A and B are shown apart, each in its own frame.
Chain A
Amino acid sequence: MKPDLFEAPDYYNLDDLFSEEHKLVRDAARQWVKRDISPIIESYAQKAEFPKQILGGLAEIGAFGPYIPETYGGAGLDQISYGLIMQEIERGDSGVRSTASVQSSLVMYPIYTYGSEEQRKKYLPKLATGELMGCFGLTEPNHGSNPSGMETKFKDAGDHYLLNGAKLWISNSPFADIAVVWAKNEDGRIQGLIVERGMDGFSTPETHNKWSLRASATGELIFDNVKVPKANLLPGKSGLGAPLGCLDSARYGIAWGAIGAAMDCYDTALRYAKERMQFGKPIAAFQLQQKKLAEMITEITKAQLLAFRLGQLKNEGKATTQQISMAKRNNVDMALKIAREARQVLGAMGITGDYSIMRHMMNLESVITYEGTHDIHLLITGADITGIPAFT
């Protein structure tokens, strides 16, 4: 892996819009990624292993629940800070960002938002320090884009619930200490349960042979008559809206994160194009390369503005699910296209692990599918502007 020479593009001087604290938080994350992620990430991706030693560092830079109030061990930061942290981590690797997104938005967020005071106190401070790691079980083998059809269910068994079913494509599952699991009760209503590692009948087999998010651990959650204490039911909300609320938060983070991956690809391609000589001049001097680079920075700038405005709306509590869908869809698609174009700029060198581009590209193939597929997000916008849902 080459030394990390990353310089963040800021074509529209967005830094002028960020507060002093936003920049302090972002720069700390940026510095940490350069020091602790860039030197190791390629080898972990190549050997398909999650670098567990970075969990403490992720907690230190505030990647676990940055917007959770200080009372519960969070940092009490705003949504733009959360976005900037996700951007910087994904600049390093989408898999590492996924681990942070899951912990923050899919585990800490539901426990904070839908959990009891006891649950908040019990889990959130330890999740914030990384002492406990969590995962989120919604997707099932037969229910991806249609989570309401889920088959995982639980029933009242007196002093506990009995949970049965299976979840698939679960980031962090192989090492998570707890899982926030969505299942149907006896009335068919979706509710959240906190399942802890070690409970009888609960297993988390790892998913192998991924070509994407290789430095992130993905697996299944299998529940075979798992006895879940009644105190582990999230009491605050039921129905599909509860897990979807978590997804809003995670998708918002992804909209920022994808910018990080795109920035890294663009920055790498720009540097390479200025140094690589062909026909007696740098390839950056050729119009076709300039077209690629100019379009990349244009798209990154548009994505940055979209994410910034969405951040303002989130801070004001006004961001809609539909607005978040648009940003997630646009920004991930933008990043994936930039990764592909940037790979072309590097020619054959682009396929090697000496550069981060192909790793980002392969990672983004997951990111464009998880947390609502590219197509489903389009239909969310379609339904919003026409008033006619076209999902089925």
Chain B
Amino acid sequence: MKILVCISNVPDTTSKINFTDGDTKFDANGVQFVINPNDEFGLTRAMWFKEKQGATVHVATVGETTVEPTMRKALAIGADEAIRVNSVPTDGYFVAQQLAEVVKNGGYDLVIAGRESIDYNGGMVPGILATLLGMNFVNTCTNLEVDGTNATAIREIDGGKEKIATTLPLVIAGQKGLVEESDLRIPNMRGIMMARKKALNVIEPIEATKATEDTKFEKPAPKGAVRLIDAENIDELIELLHNEAKVI
């Protein structure tokens, strides 16, 4: 089985988020980047397929040279080969078209993408990718077993779980549940040493259009100060909740 794990390079969850150019661009200055957590669950599951079922695992991303440390980390965790499409990842449609080309050329049986990246939360890439490739698709996937060309997936639905039988080739949009947080791997020294010798292939993007454009970002309003109301003064509390907070 040949697996492609699609990786997004996203700001670490503890990063302080700011925008520049009139709130139209993300300010990457001083921000630490990591493998998108939803992708990391998928990568870890792919490692399981590699170790238990002899799968080959490649990782791919769309990004400029600044994403290479993230790809090198994926190699250190155990991916066999990495592919970087040399372009700014403008929007989900653009990224999906680039990744579709990678999948076509690589002949992958299984494509694991994260349900969404934790930066822009677009959640578009896996679905568009499956559509462009004409592959089966399981969204919000929390478990995946593969036996030959048959796959059994579990996905989250409102208030419960759905078990799906499908076949390869397959695209899944993965998330926590594929593996648990405690299963995530820290690159060990052997992995880091081996990653030095693994290929990180850079390919140029294909002609592709983007479907959307970010025109403005807005941060949530900062939290206001807490106002303490005397426990005896219930009328004032109700008045404030009704007229000022407008929650009752």
* A contact residues vs B (CB 8 Å cutoff): 7, 13, 20-21, 23-25, 27-28, 31-32, 35, 59-62, 66, 70, 75-76
Contacts and interface: CB of A to CB of B under 8 A. Distances in A.
A76 B196 CA distance: 12
A294 to B, nearest CB: 19
Interface stretch (B42-50, B105-113, B151-159, B183-191): B183-191
B76 A24 contact: yes
B91 interface: no
B186 A28 contact: yes
Interface in B122-158: none
Given A28-B192, A62-B192, A75-B193, A20 B72 contact: yes
A75 B69 contact: no
A60 B188 contact: yes
Nearest to B191: A28
Contact of B192 (A7, A13, A25, A32): A25
A28 B187 contact: yes
Nearest to A66: B189
Q: Is the interface of B mostly helix, strand, loop or mixed?
A: helix
Interface in B50-84: 68-69, 72-73, 76
Given A35-B186, A70-B193, 7 more contacts: A7-B14, A13-B30, A23-B69, A61-B188, A61-B189, A62-B189, A62-B192
Q: Is the interface of A mostly helix, strand, loop or mixed?
A: helix
A20 to B, nearest CB: 5
Contacts of B195: 24
A20 B192 contact: no
B193 A24 contact: no
Interface of B: 14, 30, 68-69, 72-73, 76, 186-190, 192-193, 195-196
Nearest to A85: B189
A24 B186 CA distance: 10
Contacts of A23: 69
A32 B193 contact: no
Contacts of B69: 20, 23-24
Contacts of B68: 20
Nearest to B195: A24
A32 B186 contact: yes
B193 A28 contact: no
Contacts of A75: 189, 192-193
B193 A76 contact: yes
20 contacts: A7-B14, A13-B30, A20-B72, A21-B72, A21-B196, A24-B73, A24-B187, A25-B192, A27-B73, A28-B76, A28-B188, A28-B192, A31-B186, A32-B186, A60-B190, A61-B188, A61-B189, A66-B189, A75-B192, A76-B193
Given A7-B14, A20-B68, A21-B196, A60 B73 contact: no
Contacts of B186: 28, 31-32, 35, 60-61
B235 to A, nearest CB: 27
A203 B193 CA distance: 38
Contacts of A21: 72, 192, 196
B42 to A, nearest CB: 19
Nearest to A23: B69
Contact of A24 (B30, B72, B190): B72
A27 B189 CA distance: 12
Contacts of B190: 60
Contacts of A70: 193
Contacts of B188: 28, 60-62
A54 B113 CA distance: 34
Contacts of A25: 189, 192
A76 B193 CA distance: 8
Nearest to A28: B187
A276 B73 CA distance: 38
A301 to B, nearest CB: 15
Contacts of A13: 30
